[in-house]
Amino acid sequence: MTNQTDRALAFRALHIPGTPLVLPNAWDAVSARLVEDAGAAAVATTSAGLVWALGAPDGERVDRATALAAVARIAEAVTVPVTADIESGYAEDTEGLAGTVRAVLAAGAVGVNIEDALHGAGAGGPLRSVGEQAERIAAVREAADAAGVPLFVNARTDTFLSGAGGVDLTLERAAAFRAAGADGIFVPGAVDPGIVKELVNGVDGPLNVMAGPGAPTVAELAALGVARVSVGSGIAQAAHALVRRAARELLDTGTYRSLADGLDYGEVNALLERGR
């Protein structure tokens, strides 16, 4: 892929209902290279994993420049398309959102997740109003189109994750977001097969499901018509759990069993050396 437009078009083409794009989310350059080396067709960032690596909690608690500098390091580390989790956009107005889109493209990403959750002490409820969020998505779409890059806009709605509503509310918001220019709809928290099937049937566009322990397998989600499967911060959480187990074992018992399955030092070095 010779340029960003090529990468964007290639990424867009990967969203096929029934043959989903599978995204093991990464949070830094080495996790992105490992994901690519495992065979992923694209790399998605996890905002939680990314900001944890920066020493901050999740929930749009780092500024745009800091977050997108990390995205740029990830995009530079891989050859496959990268899509960035930009939380709620790092901006409160449409002009600021346009600036975020320009910064995303400058970082080398060709897709974004943008969510309708409210963050901060001034938040008046779990979700932005459907009208406000549709305006924000329209601003993202307009900015990407003005830049000449077919950015894949994945509109995340936290209806299930926040408990704000079920299928009907989700489909109402999805329709408004698609009309505003979103390319796909992301509904984290919805994994029940019956609900997923209702969403697949009701959403006019590719549906993204966030999976994890207890969720249907990728094959089962594919059979339901899902077009994209990601795992959010799940891999980062598993990696950090290993850090805690290994540290406690070393400090408490002085043994090293937790380190037995670690990657070979030379293998990791060679992985990052490739292409430099």
91: CB partners within 8 A, 6+ apart: 64, 97, 99, 100
* Weakly modelled stretches of the chain, pLDDT under 50: 1, 121-123
User: Buried b / exposed e across 153-191, counting CB within 10 Å, b at 16+?
Assistant: bbbbbbbbbbebbebeebbebbbbbbebbbbbbbbbbbb
Give the pLDDT of residue 171.
98
Tens-place pLDDT, residues 9-58: 999 999 999 999 999 999 999 999 999 999 999 999 999 999 999 999 99
Give the pLDDT of residue 276.
56
Report the C-alpha gap between 120 and 133 in whole angstroms: 16
Tens-place pLDDT, residues 2-11: 699 999 999 9
Report the C-alpha gap between 204 and 8 in whole angstroms: 21
Report the candidate in 85, 2, 9 with the shortest Cα–Cα distance to residue 43.
85
Q: Which amino acid is at 24?
A: P
Report the candidate in 97, 20, 42, 16 with the shortest Cα–Cα distance to residue 64.
97
Give the pLDDT of residue 274.
76
**Edge-to-edge strands, sheet with 228-230:** 21-23, 228-230, 207-210, 184-186, 152-156, 111-115, 82-85, 43-44
Give the pLDDT of residue 121.
47
Judging by beta carbons within 10 Å of its beta carbon (0-12, 13-18, 19+), is residue 3 exposed, middle or buried? exposed
